[in-house]
Structure 1
Amino acid sequence: MSDNKIRPPKWIQRLVERYCEPYLFEGISGDLEELFFENVDQKGTVKARLIYLLQALGFFRLRFIKRSKRVSNMKAIWSNYLLTSLRSLKRHKAFFAINLIGLITAITCSLYALIYIHDELQFDKQHSDLDRTYRLYKHYINPAENIDHFTYETSGMMGPTMTEEYADVQEFVRVCPWFSKAIISYEQNNFATNNLYFADSSFFQFFDFNLMAGNASTALAAPSSIVISQSLAKSIFGDENPVGESVIGLHDLTYTVTGVFEDIPRRSSMQFDALISWSTTVPNVGPLSYTWMNNWLAQGIFTFVKLSEGTRPEAVVEELPDMMNRHFEERAENYFLQLMPLKDMHLYGEDIRNERSIKTGSITFVYTLGFSALLVFLIASVNYVNITLSRATETKTEVGIRKVMGSTKHQLMGRFVSETFISTLIATIISYGLLFFLIPQMNPLVGKELSIMALFQPIVLIAGLTFILAISLFVGFYPAVVLSAPPISSILKGSSAIGSTGWFRKVLLTLQYAISIFLIVCTIIVIRQTNYLKNKPLGFDKEQVMVIDVNNEMDQKIEVFETELLKNPNIASISTSRSAVGSGTFSTTLFPEGYSDELTTRIFGVDQEFFDTYGIRLNYGRTFFKGSQADSNNLVINQSMVDFLEWDDPIGKHIRFSEDGDPAPIIGVIDDFHYGSLATATIEPMVLYLNTSTVWNSSVKIVGNPRETVDYIIDVWDGLASRTPIDFYFVDEWFDQQYEKETQLLGMTTIYAIISIILCGLGLYGLTALMLQQRQKEISIRKVLGASVSSIVSMVNKQFAIVVFISFMIAAPLAYYLIAQWLNEFVYKISMDALAFVVAGVLTLFISGLIISALSIKTANTNPSETLSNE
């Protein structure tokens, strides 16, 4: 220290060392003497400085000591709470296990619902301008049907015309997913895909898919251009650069690879492996020359548009009828164009028909899953409250002792909340472990590809923490208030009135019953509706009919293929033509005899074997002669066409396909048959014509062992096809796939209904145990006075039967309303009757009666001397 600074006396240094705590000097550098003892002339006298120093040290030390004591006291209190709670849980293993099962179930269901819903809501979020990007669809009114349709299919001219005529429509892009499997080949390497799209040249500028190689503005400009995925490029090109190379693709044409895009994210509604330039389809420009993709009449295109900033989609929709009247007057009265936000395409398009190669979800399933998880969570929460309160008599001694020792009500509440916290923490940890194994098992049931890494998303981790805190504070709050409320006097008198607010617990139990009855009713209705769709007669024999896609290199060898197949005795017949059940249908316009207006109807191109292969019944007339082309101008119609046209005798009447076209005579009428999902499609008037020149499908009727026969068919195919693998489906399996969403909904509602029944049973156990515990002396007195066990059981059951009845009256109307709304989405549906409601009510009453009777018998058989010994 320099000469102009004064050293403090040693006693001052010892005083500083004694009272100076290290925490006061954290972050302060420099020598203590230099810090506090500056030049006398600058800082005043040494005495003043020392007095200031000692006062400061004493003040901070005093504050530190007080704060340390408070922290130590809090630590001690919460340590005591946790230790006492752990001992209590250990002592009451049965109650702890029941509560834990309920909490684990509730948290597991809630977290899984959160993971699923969050994943569904993230679809298509990778695109910019999401708030002004829309998908065009139409409301279609067909006078030949009793219902209206909404369909995604538009014409190839709607998008370009909207952009030209309306300034608010800034951009458009057309997409046409191909209808069947395509093979893309390079040298000896083949890649089979069901996800081949035709797309406009602006596709990669309109959407934010990552183009890894190639120019986004020109990659899809030239005819015969193809842009392929990273996986496809790796599969057929290996490590070579594919850009500029030629591949063999659709219809065995040569395409030039002009770009490679990053594999499409899982959370994209559009899933494709390759894109072919739209100009490839333009007549007189590209080699395919698809007129139907580039006119107003055909409706097989998906159209997307972008509106200018601030434009209301409703304003654009209001102007679209004028466009239809100007350009497509013949359909203006039947087609009403609408706009759907791109962000809603995945979840809100489930009721819109003619979707293909687009990954769609179901907002109905999302609501059902979320609502079911909420109901299970409510049941489990009510369980916890009731079962915790059922231990009231056992905890009153602890409450009394703590109050005598000076514990406040808030401290007692903290004790019981801490017990809830421990239970919830353990339940949450176990729930995460269960989800680690359940997520992969649930994926097939819900049709998802969720990863276990979803458990570590921030939203899921935050949700887990929120469950711990929320359940501890809110679910544990009411029991904590009730258990800590009784005064010392009532406890010392031996009163068992802790938790005696029975009306509130009965309200909770009524809520539980109502939820269980509601879920049971919903499950029964969903089961019946799903079974109805799967088992309703289709008008033909769907069993063991195998449909093979021959719209490839096999169409040149189809006669050889059929001849080889018919050598197998297990193959009864083969129908090879344009149309097959499950392969998609086509619509056309026609002018029936005696009908003044143009009629839009379904059209099937079939061969002579079609009717026998599918077992379709002939009502009157005849079908096409076998082995003859004499019927090439004749028509067969279905019964719906006859009913709509109100023809008494349709045989010999004529149909024209244009106003000035040649009339085609009707030679036969077949029974109606379903060719699409019963959930969304009615049987429309249909015309069947002879078409053996355009072969797209071979329908094979198998009568013997299907596995051996399929192997035989595959062997024959492999011997004839050089680059195209066989692609087939069975008709019965195809129909089952059409009800995938209904099957998923059935599985989920069944799971949640079973869970609700189990949890409701646990809750009923807790409340019954509480009531019998509180009325044990009353029951003992009744028994001493001569009451039988059966009368006691009947007395207890009567009270809960009233609760079940009230719950039923609450749940039944709500279930009826919501289920009726769900059923209205189906074309073919079951009728609502009382069966589901009766079954739900009786089942709930039976389970509750079983639980209550078992507990009542146990209580009634208790020796009265044990219960009344303290009186």
Structure 2
Amino acid sequence: MFKNYFKIAWRNIIKSRFYSLVNIIGLAAGIAFTLIIVSYVWSELQVNRNLKNADNQYIIQSRWKNPNQGIELTSLGPLAKQLKERYPDLVANYYRWDGVTSNVSKGEKSFREGIQICDSTMLNMYGFTLLYGNAAKAFDGPYSVVITEDRAIKYFGKKDVLGQTLTIENFSGSKHDFIVTGVMKMPEKNSATFLTDDNNNQFYIASQNINYFGRIMEAWQNQYIVSYIELQKGINPAALDKPMQYLINQNAPPQIAANMKPFLVPLKEYYLSANNNLVKKMLYALSGIAFFILLMAVINFINLSVSRSATRMKEIGIRKVLGGLKQQLIAQFLIESVLLVFFATLLAIVIAVLANPIFSNVLGKKIPAITDFPLYFMAFPVILIIVVGVMAGIYPAFVLSSLKSVDSLKGKLNTIGEKVLLRKSLVALQFGTATVVFIGAIIISQQVNLFFNSDLGYNKDYIVSAQLPRDWSLNGVAKMETIRKQFAALPQVSNATLSFEVPDGNSSGSIALYKAGSDSTAAIASQLITTDEYYASTFNIPMAAGIFYSLPGAFTDSSKIVINQTQATALGWKNPQDAIGKQVVFQASGGFTCTIAGVTKDFHFGSMQKTIQPVTFIHVGVNRVFRSMSFKLKPGNISASMEALQKQWSILLPGTPFEYSFMDDTLAKLYSTELQLKKAAYTATVLSLIIVLLGVLGLIALSIQKRTKEIGIRKVLGSTVAGIIALFMKEFLLVILIAGAIACPLAYFIMHNWLQAYAYRINITAMPFIISIVLLALLTGVLISLQTIKAANANPVNSLRAE
């Protein structure tokens, strides 16, 4: 029996191949997009969840009274270790690391790499696998390093490199060979080995070598160490609140103890909740988009199935006259519908596999292949096939199979009114969904464009920055300033500056200042930026008052600092000019007194998600730390300018890789999540338009087929081609207007809430709503016109003969 059902179903699909193809393609596009997004979301949800004892793993973070006083991500250096040693009944293990970048070389190969100076507990605590080496002893020896298999291949061309050496440079310009004592299997994405895409550390050096890099991990005043703990089984993280605060109160400097409160974040949740739930919001947005696209595809499929079913009433009547039972008709229609969904799902899987690299590029991250999913995921396509197939086939299966044989043979359908209402409701829901997606894509695009096109308070054009070798000695800074002058003398370069930061939101820390003669409790925390005197002129940061430390090349007074307008206002000077020449005191550093030489106008140092914060500039000659050399290129042949820079770099800094990035690329990394969302929204918009238009194509074709005789009669009675087109047009355009009226308030509500995450945001105008509705109406109108023109121009004699 079932074999016959499938044979008849297949014949009906082949017989109506146009409608079957439209239905299959529309549904397949929606399912394929959903599969890809589900793959991406699933992979993001797995971050940190496959670590050893993941349920008991936590990262220690810091909550400051004033966010500018410290970083939330890091904690005090000795805290995690002290918790393990002092409270072993609560804490099972700990892990800390200090992230640095430095030049790593092997022979002629030299690259700047991310390095974790870390505790030897890493391998055991997280269960990372060593392909080569002894996990228990890999961190024991001095000047030893554990690397990933990826880095082993990068430097040696093979994985088994135990006993080989790599030369690593420190921050005083010295170089030392490190012996490879372990090659680690490339770990899955996790927050223990790297925290962001820019902080992908694949070199691990035991903390006993930390002095080589001039760093300190065991000092309570060091508030920039990434720290993790593993709790004993059954221990509630709240049990650590008092011990952590006690250790800080007993050991940390007063200004830290009074302003910082440590707290634990489950490592399984950290990746999703970091940066104000940035990843979680992204996943919600993508999941919502995928749901809307799948909903549209399913609606499209059901709508076409329902519309097509009315053309088969005579078939139903004949089957009943020949003895067909109601349950047999129900089974026939349901099997046909399920079979169509099955074919659509197979096509969707093929599309998803082929489109995986494309979408990986769109989202900026590798999307897992379908084969990477657990076996139980195979149940979801099966459920989808059954549910959608039954939903689409339920109308013809139960309603049409219930008609009397006589009514079926005559083509009478008493419930035609309900069918038309159902069809129009589904079309309206589909158009409404497309409108919401379209409006969302336009508003997201406008907001992202704001990041790149609005006045940032500085000029990012033609600025390129490159990482420098670290020699933070007095001679090292002097040498770099000499090299800076030689770069600035190039005819292709208009200016150059030495600094620790570029405007990407990553400062070298925070500092608190108060007016000389005032109470230190009135100190204002600000971001600390270390630069030379050429920074403002290179980035074209305008001055509100005074000068940037000194005249270019004339820096002699180490007590001079520069602040921004927000900092000046916070310190009590409403007029920037009033701050010039005034003295302020650093709350830390033994009460160091300095003089304000200049006040810059406010500029966006970080993301527009946050308001402009107070900023304090300290000269690199005083705070001897630097990371970058930034160059302002002259407009013209950028390729030739970069070649000149590369050549000069190889002369002035031999053996140092010239790894550079333009400021536009730096900002793109800052807003990578928003750019991913923008690309995904554009893709969803294109897909939604395709699905809607496929639905319109099928419905109009069916409507023309059913009304062929009516078209002939209208032609005989004098109707014009335009009149016949308008007859079909008004049916859909009215639905579009109704759908738009419902979709616009919903889209406004969704996008208004999304924009609230940004301190600087666009105003939602009527333009995205008008563009979306008008474009949908135009595309629908064009599609309807193209189909109806042929029917309207047909010979009415042939139309009148149509059955």
C-alpha separation between the residues in 2 aligned to 1:478 and 1:668?
76
475, 497, 506: which one pairs with 2:424?
A: 506
Q: Are 1:137 and 1:339, in contact at CA under 8 Å, matched by a contact in 2? A: yes
Matched, 1:424 2:341: yes
In the alignment, which residue of structure 2 is the partner of 1:828? 760
Q: Are 2:341 and 2:389, in contact at CA under 8 Å, matched by a contact in 1? A: yes
Q: Residues 539-560 of structure 1: CA distance to partner in whole angstroms, max 9, x if unpaired?
A: 1111111212223478685356
In the alignment, which residue of structure 2 is the partner of 1:278? 207
In the alignment, which residue of structure 2 is the partner of 1:268? 190
Matched, 1:670 2:600: yes
C-alpha separation between the residues in 1 aligned to 2:427 and 2:214?
69
694, 702, 706: which one pairs with 2:638?
A: 706
**Structure 2 runs not aligned, ≥5 long:** 194-199
In the alignment, which residue of structure 2 is the partner of 1:226? 145
**Structure 1 runs not aligned, ≥5 long:** 1-73, 353-360
Identity of aligned residues (%): 27
C-alpha separation between the residues in 2 aligned to 1:733 and 1:235?
25
Q: Are 2:500 and 2:530, in contact at CA under 8 Å, matched by a contact in 1? A: yes
In the alignment, which residue of structure 2 is the partner of 1:803? 735
Q: Shift of the alpha carbon at 1:855? A: 6.0
Q: Shift of the alpha carbon at 1:747? A: 0.9
Change (3 A) 1:755 1:256: closer
Q: Shift of the alpha carbon at 1:197? A: 0.5
Q: Shift of the alpha carbon at 1:131? A: 0.7
767, 774, 778: which one pairs with 1:842?
A: 774
645, 654, 670: which one pairs with 1:738?
A: 670
Change (3 A) 1:870 1:369: closer
Matched AA of 2:420: G
Query: What SS is found at the alignment partner of 1:415?
Result: helix
Query: What SS is found at the alignment partner of 1:195?
Result: strand
C-alpha separation between the residues in 1 aligned to 2:155 and 2:372?
36
Matched, 1:495 2:424: no
**Aligned residue pairs, count:** 775
C-alpha separation between the residues in 2 aligned to 1:775 and 1:144?
71
In the alignment, which residue of structure 2 is the partner of 1:715? 647
146, 170, 174: which one pairs with 2:96?
A: 174
Matched AA of 1:628: A
In the alignment, which residue of structure 2 is the partner of 1:356? none
Query: What SS is found at the alignment partner of 1:260?
Result: strand
Q: Are 2:166 and 2:179, in contact at CA under 8 Å, matched by a contact in 1? A: yes
Matched AA of 1:600: A
Matched, 1:157 2:64: no
Q: Are 1:439 and 1:452, in contact at CA under 8 Å, matched by a contact in 2? A: yes
Q: Are 2:499 and 2:628, in contact at CA under 8 Å, matched by a contact in 1? A: yes
Q: Shift of the alpha carbon at 1:685? A: 1.4
In the alignment, which residue of structure 2 is the partner of 1:386? 303
Q: Give TM-score, length-normalised by structure 2.
A: 0.87
C-alpha separation between the residues in 2 aligned to 1:848 and 1:473?
29
CA RMSD of aligned residues (A): 3.5
In the alignment, which residue of structure 2 is the partner of 1:609? 534
Change (3 A) 1:227 1:153: same
Q: Residues 512-549 of structure 1: CA distance to partner in whole angstroms, max 9, x if unpaired?
A: 12211211121111111111112121111111112122
C-alpha separation between the residues in 1 aligned to 2:416 and 2:247?
71
1:46-445 equivalence runs, <5 A: 74=1, 78-142=2-66, 151-164=72-85, 166=87, 167-178=89-100, 180-185=101-106, 188=107, 190=109, 192-221=111-140, 224-233=143-152, 236=155, 247-251=166-170, 252-254=174-176, 256-257=178-179, 259-269=181-191, 270=193, 271-281=200-210, 286-291=211-216, 293-317=217-241, 320-321=244-245, 324-328=248-252, 329-332=254-257, 334-351=259-276, 362-445=279-362
Q: Shift of the alpha carbon at 1:99? A: 0.8
Change (3 A) 1:216 1:695: same
Change (3 A) 1:388 1:736: same
Q: Residues 351-372 of structure 1: CA distance to partner in whole angstroms, max 9, x if unpaired?
A: 37xxxxxxxx923333333332
Change (3 A) 1:460 1:309: closer
Query: What SS is found at the alignment partner of 1:171?
Result: strand
In the alignment, which residue of structure 2 is the partner of 1:685? 614
Change (3 A) 1:392 1:580: closer
Matched AA of 1:749: A
Q: Shift of the alpha carbon at 1:330? A: 2.4
Q: Are 1:193 and 1:273, in contact at CA under 8 Å, matched by a contact in 2? A: no
C-alpha separation between the residues in 1 aligned to 2:131 and 2:793?
79
Change (3 A) 1:723 1:394: same
Query: What SS is found at the alignment partner of 1:80?
Result: helix
Q: With CA pairs under 8 Å and 6+ residues apart, which has the higher RCO, 1 or 2?
A: 2
> Greater CA deviation, 499-508 or 93-102?
499-508
C-alpha separation between the residues in 1 aligned to 2:158 and 2:421?
74
> Greater CA deviation, 457-466 or 340-349?
457-466
In the alignment, which residue of structure 2 is the partner of 1:759? 691
C-alpha separation between the residues in 2 aligned to 1:266 and 1:191?
26
Change (3 A) 1:818 1:331: farther
Q: Are 2:300 and 2:691, in contact at CA under 8 Å, matched by a contact in 1? A: yes
Q: Residues 457-496 of structure 1: CA distance to partner in whole angstroms, max 9, x if unpaired?
A: 6356544444444433333333433443322111233425
Query: What SS is found at the alignment partner of 1:817?
Result: helix
Change (3 A) 1:810 1:849: same
Q: Shift of the alpha carbon at 1:801? A: 4.8
In the alignment, which residue of structure 2 is the partner of 1:618? 543
Matched AA of 1:139: R
Matched, 1:696 2:627: yes
In the alignment, which residue of structure 1 is the partner of 2:450? 532
C-alpha separation between the residues in 1 aligned to 2:157 and 2:470?
26
Q: Shift of the alpha carbon at 1:570? A: 0.9
433, 440, 446: which one pairs with 1:522?
A: 440
Q: Are 1:182 and 1:196, in contact at CA under 8 Å, matched by a contact in 2? A: no
C-alpha separation between the residues in 2 aligned to 1:482 and 1:780?
31
Q: Are 2:470 and 2:626, in contact at CA under 8 Å, matched by a contact in 1? A: no
In the alignment, which residue of structure 2 is the partner of 1:576? 498
C-alpha separation between the residues in 2 aligned to 1:698 and 1:762?
54
Matched, 1:588 2:511: yes
In the alignment, which residue of structure 1 is the partner of 2:196? none
Query: What SS is found at the alignment partner of 2:116?
Result: strand
Q: Shift of the alpha carbon at 1:129? A: 1.0
Query: What SS is found at the alignment partner of 2:429?
Result: helix
C-alpha separation between the residues in 1 aligned to 2:132 and 2:802?
89
C-alpha separation between the residues in 2 aligned to 1:847 and 1:482?
34
> Greater CA deviation, 456-465 or 272-281?
456-465
Matched AA of 2:675: T
Q: Shift of the alpha carbon at 1:82? A: 3.1
Query: What SS is found at the alignment partner of 1:585?
Result: coil
Matched, 1:651 2:580: yes
C-alpha separation between the residues in 2 aligned to 1:606 and 1:799?
66
Query: What SS is found at the alignment partner of 1:227?
Result: strand
Matched AA of 1:159: A
